[in-house]
C-alpha cells in the first residue's frame, strides 16, 4: 500500500487526475438501457467568456450532482457547449480590427465572418479549459457550439416551423436600439437603472393664440421629432384647444393638439408631447391617432438630416445645444432635478434609444400559456419556489419577442427576397429557390435577409438541439427531457422560460423537471462581483493557491439553496483546512496498515467493539442523509453532513480511539479489527466525499488499493440498515460525554492536558457501568487518566471537579489544584441555568390550560424532563457541599 506524501499539494494531483479521467473517457455518458437516465445541460458560457466566481458556483453544483448520479448507477450525461454570443463576440473582433484602423465594412461580411471564426478557434476554448481546472466532469466528446452545423440546422428548422405556424412575423415596431452595438434588443435585454437627470419645461406656442403650453421632457433632443401634443379629453383647462395646432419650437412645424385618456391630468402640466419615432408609448398612441412618424436619429445615435442645424451631433451633444438655444429664445421656462429610470444595453451599458424599425418577432402569448401551465401543475419545479411568482408575472404580461439583430455574427435569418421583394422562408437557399420558381414560374435571383437571430433564440433550443434534434437520435430518446437545470435567477426569462416554451412547442414535452436557481456571488460587503469594481477574484489564481477541491467545498458549504453567497478569500481557508485534515488522517491510516490486506480479512477474525459499531452506525446514517439531501438539491446541508462525519466522528473520535488499539501489540485481534474498520470507513467516506472533492478523493482512494479503475465510477455508499445501531450510538455518546467532561474540567481549572488525573464515576445505570468497563482502556488514554474508579456507592471526594453525564456523577479529585471559590461560582451558575429550565417546565405543568388539553404522553414527557432537571440540581447541590 503506497504512502501519501507528507504535505497535501493540490497542484501535484489535480491536473494529473483530470487528464487521466478525460483520456479514459470516464465522463462519457453510458447508454445502458437497464439503467435509469439523468442528464443536465450546461448553461452554455459565452465563447468570449473567462471563468468567474459565478461560473465556479454554477458548475460546482452541476458537477456535484452529476458525479453523485453517476456513482448512483445512472446513465449520466452532462452536456457541454458554448454560446456564440453574437453581440459580445462581434464587439471583440471589431475592437481588434479597430487597432489596425479597420472597420468590419472595410472587409465585407464574408471576410469579417472569417475573422470571427478565426478568433473563435483561437480564443473560444479558453473557458472550457478553465472548467477542466475546476474538475467539471462534462462529456467533452459531445461538446456543442450554438453555431456548429447541427445546431444551425435546428435553428433553421424551428424558425421555418414557427413562421409556417404564424408565430413569427415581420413588422415596423418600436424597439430598443443600442447605438453602440448597432442592433435592436429585446425588452429583457435592457437593464433599467435609476439615475439623476433633469426635467426641462418648454413653452410650445399655440397657433393664432396668445396661449402657450408648458411641456416637460427628460429628453429635449427628441422634440425635433414631435408630431403631436396630447391632453386628457376631460381636462377642462384644455378642451377649447383640442383640434388646434402648436408651433414646434426651434423647428417651426405645425403639429396637432388632440385628446387621449392616456394623459394623466395630475402629472406635470397635464400636457404631453408626442414623439412616435422615439418613445414606445408615443408610438402606440401615434398609431391610434394616425400621427406622422419622424425619425430624427441615425443608427449610431446622431441627429440626421431631419434635425436641420443639429445634424451630425451626437444625441447628448444635441441635447446641450438645444437647451442653450431654448434659453436664448426665452422658451425654456425652468429646469428641475428628476430621478428616472434609464435603460442600458445589457452587453455594453450604452443608453438605449427607442427606435421604430422593421424587425422580426415571435408571438409569445400562445407559447407562454403552456409554459405557465407546466409550472402551475408541478411538471416543472422551480427551486426555490418563491421564484415561481416572478415567473408567472413575466409570462402573464409577456410582450412579443424581437428576435432580429442588425449584426453579422450569428444565425442569419432564413428568409429570401425575390426581385419584387416577395419573401420566401426556407431552410436553405435551394429550398427557397424552389419556392421562388413555383411563385414566379421561372428561376430568379434571391437575396437573403441580412439580419441575424438573437443569440437567445438558438439557446432556447439547447436541451434538444444538443441531443441531435431534428434527427431522432438515441441520445434524444434517452436523455430528453433532461432532469435538472442549474442556473442563475438572472436568466430566468432570457433563457429558462424560453426553453420551456420551445420544448413544449417542438418536443411536446417539458425540457427539464427541476430548475435549480442559485444565488449571485457577492463580495463580503454584499456587492455584486465585477471586474470594473475590482472585487472579483480570479478563480484560476485561487485554484492555484488553494486547490480546486477547497474552493468547490467552500462554495457548496456556504451556499444555501437560492441564497446569494457573500464570498471572501477567508472562507476558502475552511475548505483548505478540511482538505488538509482529510489528507492527514488518510496518511495516518495508510501508515498504520502495514501488513494489512483488506482482501484477506475474514469477518470471523474480527471482534467489533462499541466504538466500531458506533462508527459503522454513524457512517450509514450519514450516507443516507447525504444521498437524501443531494436528491433534494440541498447541497450545502449535504456538504455539512459529510464534513461533520469525517472531521468530527471519524477524525476526532474514531481515529483517536483506534490509536489505542493500533499501538497495543498484545491484542492482535483488536488491532486487526481497528485496521479493518479504519480502511473500510475511510474508503467509504472517500466515495461519500467524492462528488464534492473529486481530486483529493481520487488520489487517496488509489493509494488505498481498492479494487476498480477510478473512484468516480464506484458506487455511492448506500445505507446498510443492519449496521445502524441506536444502542451502540447511545452508549458511545455516553463515553464521549465522559471524555469531554474530563477535558472540560481540566480546561476550566487550568490543568495541563498532558498531566494525568484521577476520575471517580458514580452510577447505578447498568448500561453506563458496562460501557465504562468495556471502554476502560480508551477512557484512560483519551481522558489522560491515572486511575478510574467506577461503581454505584463510591465515596465522593471533598474537593473535585464535577459533571453530570447521563445518569452518572463524574468527579475529578482536585485537592491542592483547585480554587474553591471559583468552583463554587461555576456550580452556582450551572444550577441557576438548570433552575430556569426547571421553572419553565414546572410552570407548564402547573398551567391548567396545558394539562387539560395536552395528550397524556406529552404530559408524561414533561414530567420526565422535570425530574431530570431536579435530579441534576440535587446532584449539583450535593457536590457544592464539598466546597463549603
Beta bridge partners, 145, equal 82
Peptide bond between residue 384 and the one before it cis (omega within 30 degrees of 0): yes
Start-to-end Cα distance in the chain: 60
The answer to whether residues 362 and 168 touch, using CB atoms and an 8 Å cutoff, is yes
CA 667 – CA 674 distance, rounded (Å) = 11
Closest among 519, 517, 493, 188 to 371, alpha carbons compared: 493
Peptide bond into 481 cis (omega under 30): yes
Phi, psi (rounded to 5 degrees) for 152 = -65, -40
Name the residue among 693, 813, 684, 809 with its Cα closest to residue 759.
Answer: 813
Among residues 798, 768, 759, 807, the alpha carbon closest in space to that of 878 is found at 798
The whole-angstrom separation of Cα 812 and Cα 775 is 18
Q: Which residue carries 474480527 as its cell? A: 606
> Taking Cα atoms as reference points, which of 47, 102, 103 lies closest to residue 80?
47
Phi, psi of 257 (to 5 degrees): -100, 125
Q: Do 755 and 796 form a contact (C-beta atoms < 8 A)?
A: no
Is 750 in a helix, a strand, or coil? Answer: coil
**Dihedral over Cα of 502, 508, 511, 513: its sign:** positive
Strand partners, 337: 198
DSSP assignment string, 67-135? HHHHHTT-EEEEE-EEB--HHHHHHHHHHHHHTTT--HHHH-HHHHHHHHHHHHHHHTTHHHHHHHHHT
327 appears as a binding residue in the annotation: no
Q: What is the Cα Rg of the chain in Å?
A: 37
**C-alpha–C-alpha distance, residues 637 and 560, integer Å:** 8
Parallel, antiparallel, or unpaired for β 800-805 and 808-813?
Answer: antiparallel
- The number of angstroms, rounded, from the C-alpha of 312 to the middle of its chain's C-alpha atoms is 46
- Strands 415-417 and 212-217, sheet pairing: unpaired
Q: Decide the pairing of beta strands 75-79 and 415-417.
A: unpaired
Q: Is the peptide bond preceding residue 349 cis, with omega within 30 degrees of 0?
A: no
Q: How many CA atoms lie within 13 A of 857 on its CB side?
A: 0
**DSSP state string for 766-814:** HHHHHHHHHTHHHHHHHTTEEEEEEESSPPPPSSEEEEEETTEEEEEE-
Cell of 428: 436553405
**E-only strand ranges, 426-541:** 447-448, 452-453, 482-488, 512-518, 521-523
Q: Can you read off the three cell numbers belonging to residue 498?
A: 424560453
CA torsion through residues 515, 521, 526, 532, sign: negative
Angstrom CA distances, 491 to 58, 520, 527, 662, stand at 13, 12, 19, 56
On the 0-12 / 13-18 / 19+ scale of CB atoms within 10 A, 728 is buried
As a whole number of angstroms, the distance between CA 104 and CA 861 comes to 81
Residue of 461, 528, 469 whose CA lies nearest to 495? 461
Which residues are annotated binding-site positions?
531
Which residues are annotated binding-site positions for ATP?
531
Amino acid at each position: 500500500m503506497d504512502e501519501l506524501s507528507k504535505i497535501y499539494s493540490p497542484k501535484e494531483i489535480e491536473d494529473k487526475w483530470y487528464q487521466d479521467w478525460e483520456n479514459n473517457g470516464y465522463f462519457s455518458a453510458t447508454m445502458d438501457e437497464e439503467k435509469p437516465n439523468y442528464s443536465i445541460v450546461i448553461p452554455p458560457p459565452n465563447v468570449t467568456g473567462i471563468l468567474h466566481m459565478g461560473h465556479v458556483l454554477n458548475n460546482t453544483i452541476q458537477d456535484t450532482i452529476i458525479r453523485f448520479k453517476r456513482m448512483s448507477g445512472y446513465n449520466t450525461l452532462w452536456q457541454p457547449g458554448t454560446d456564440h454570443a453574437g453581440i459580445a463576440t462581434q464587439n471583440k473582433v471589431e475592437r481588434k480590427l479597430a487597432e489596425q484602423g479597420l472597420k468590419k465594412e472595410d472587409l465585407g461580411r464574408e471576410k469579417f465572418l472569417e475573422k470571427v471564426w478565426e478568433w473563435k478557434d483561437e480564443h473560444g476554448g479558453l473557458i472550457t479549459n478553465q472548467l477542466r481546472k475546476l474538475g467539471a466532469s462534462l462529456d467533452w466528446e459531445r461538446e456543442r457550439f450554438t453555431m456548429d452545423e447541427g445546431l444551425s440546422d435546428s435553428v433553421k428548422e424551428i424558425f421555418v416551423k414557427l413562421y409556417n405556424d404564424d408565430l413569427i412575423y415581420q413588422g415596423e415596431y418600436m424597439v430598443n436600439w443600442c447605438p453602440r452595438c448597432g442592433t435592436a434588443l429585446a425588452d429583457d435585454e435592457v437593464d433599467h437603472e435609476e439615475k439623476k437627470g433633469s426635467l426641462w419645461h418648454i413653452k410650445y406656442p399655440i397657433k393664432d393664440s396668445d396661449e402657450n403650453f408648458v411641456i416637460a421632457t427628460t429628453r429635449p433632443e427628441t422634440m425635433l421629432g414631435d408630431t403631436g401634443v396630447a391632453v386628457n379629453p376631460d381636462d377642462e383647462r384644455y378642451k377649447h384647444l383640442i383640434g388646434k395646432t402648436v408651433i414646434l419650437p426651434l423647428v417651426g412645424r405645425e403639429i396637432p393638439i388632440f385628446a387621449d385618456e392616456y394623459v394623466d391630468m395630475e402629472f406635470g402640466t397635464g400636457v404631453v408631447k408626442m414623439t412616435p419615432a422615439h418613445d414606445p408609448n408615443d408610438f402606440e398612441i401615434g398609431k391610434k391617432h394616425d400621427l406622422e412618424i419622424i425619425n430624427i436619429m441615425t443608427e449610431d445615435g446622431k441627429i440626421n438630416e431631419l434635425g436641420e442645424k443639429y445634424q451630425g451631433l451626437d444625441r447628448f451633444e444635441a441635447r446641450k445645444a438645444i437647451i442653450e438655444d431654448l434659453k436664448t429664445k426665452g422658451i425654456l421656462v425652468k429646469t428641475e432635478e428628476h430621478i428616472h429610470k434609464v435603460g442600458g444595453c445589457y452587453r455594453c451599458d450604452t443608453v438605449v434609444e427607442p427606435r421604430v424599425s422593421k424587425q422580426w418577432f415571435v408571438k409569445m402569448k400562445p407559447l407562454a400559456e403552456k409554459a405557465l401551465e407546466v409550472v402551475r401543475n408541478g411538471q416543472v419545479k422551480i427551486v426555490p419556489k418563491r421564484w415561481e411568482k416572478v415567473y408567472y408575472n413575466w409570462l402573464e404580461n409577456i410582450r412579443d419577442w424581437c428576435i432580429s439583430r442588425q449584426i453579422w455574427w450569428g444565425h442569419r435569418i432564413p428568409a429570401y427576397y425575390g426581385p419584387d421583394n416577395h419573401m420566401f422562408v426556407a431552410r436553405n437557399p435551394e429550398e427557397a429557390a424552389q419556392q421562388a420558381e413555383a411563385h414566379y414560374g421561372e428561376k430568379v435571383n434571391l437575396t437573403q435577409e441580412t439580419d441575424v437571430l438573437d443569440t437567445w433564440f438558438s439557446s432556447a433550443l439547447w436541451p434538444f438541439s444538443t441531443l441531435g434534434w431534428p434527427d431522432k437520435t438515441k441520445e434524444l430518446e434517452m436523455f430528453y427531457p433532461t432532469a435538472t437545470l442549474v442556473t442563475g435567477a438572472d436568466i430566468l426569462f432570457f433563457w429558462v422560460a424560453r426553453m420551456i416554451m420551445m420544448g413544449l412547442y417542438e418536443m411536446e414535452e417539458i425540457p427539464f423537471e427541476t430548475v435549480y436557481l442559485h444565488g449571485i456571488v457577492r463580495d463580503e460587503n454584499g456587492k455584486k462581483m465585477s471586474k470594473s469594481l475590482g472585487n472579483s477574484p480570479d478563480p484560476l489564481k485561487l485554484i492555484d493557491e488553494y486547490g480546486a477541491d477547497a474552493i468547490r467545498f467552500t462554495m457548496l458549504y456556504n451556499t444555501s439553496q437560492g441564497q446569494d453567497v457573500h464570498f471572501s478569500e477567508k472562507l476558502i481557508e475552511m475548505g483548505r483546512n478540511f482538505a488538509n485534515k482529510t489528507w492527514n488522517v488518510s496518511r495516518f491510516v495508510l501508515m498504520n496498515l502495514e501488513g494489512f490486506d483488506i482482501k484477506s480479512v475474514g469477518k470471523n477474525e474480527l471482534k467489533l467493539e462499541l466504538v466500531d459499531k458506533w462508527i459503522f452506525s454513524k457512517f450509514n446514517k450519514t450516507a443516507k442523509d447525504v444521498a437524501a439531501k443531494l436528491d433534494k438539491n440541498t447541497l450545502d446541508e449535504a456538504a455539512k453532513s459529510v464534513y461533520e462525519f469525517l472531521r468530527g466522528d471519524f477524525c476526532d473520535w474514531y481515529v483517536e480511539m483506534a490509536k489505542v488499539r493500533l499501538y497495543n501489540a498484545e491484542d492482535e485481534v483488536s488491532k486487526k479489527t481497528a485496521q479493518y474498520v479504519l480502511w473500510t470507513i475511510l474508503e467509504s467516506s472517500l466515495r461519500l466525499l467524492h462528488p464534492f472533492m473529486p481530486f483529493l478523493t481520487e488520489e487517496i482512494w488509489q493509494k488505498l488499493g481498492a479494487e476498480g479503475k477510478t473512484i468516480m465510477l464506484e458506487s455511492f455508499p448506500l445505507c446498510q440498515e443492519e449496521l445502524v445501531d441506536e444502542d451502540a450510538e447511545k452508549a458511545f455518546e455516553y463515553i464521549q460525554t465522559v471524555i469531554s467532561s474530563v477535558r472540560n474540567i481540566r480546561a476550566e481549572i487550568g490543568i495541563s492536558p498532558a498531566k494525568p488525573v484521577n476520575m471517580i464515576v458514580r452510577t447505578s445505570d447498568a448500561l453506563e457501568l458496562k460501557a465504562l468497563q468495556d471502554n476502560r482502556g480508551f477512557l484512560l488514554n483519551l481522558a489522560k487518566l491515572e486511575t478510574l474508579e467506577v461503581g454505584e456507592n463510591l465515596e465522593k471526594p471533598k474537593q473535585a471537579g464535577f459533571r453530570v453525564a447521563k445518569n452518572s456523577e463524574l468527579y475529578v479529585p482536585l485537592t491542592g489544584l483547585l480554587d474553591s471559590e471559583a468552583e463554587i461560582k461555576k456550580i452556582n451558575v450551572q444550577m441557576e441555568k438548570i433552575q430556569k429550565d426547571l421553572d419553565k417546565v414546572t410552570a407548564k405543568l402547573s398551567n391548567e390550560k396545558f394539562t387539560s388539553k395536552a395528550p397524556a404522553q406529552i404530559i408524561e414527557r414533561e414530567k420526565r424532563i422535570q425530574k431530570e432537571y431536579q435530579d441534576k440540581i440535587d446532584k449539583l447541590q450535593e457536590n457544592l457541599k464539598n466546597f463549603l
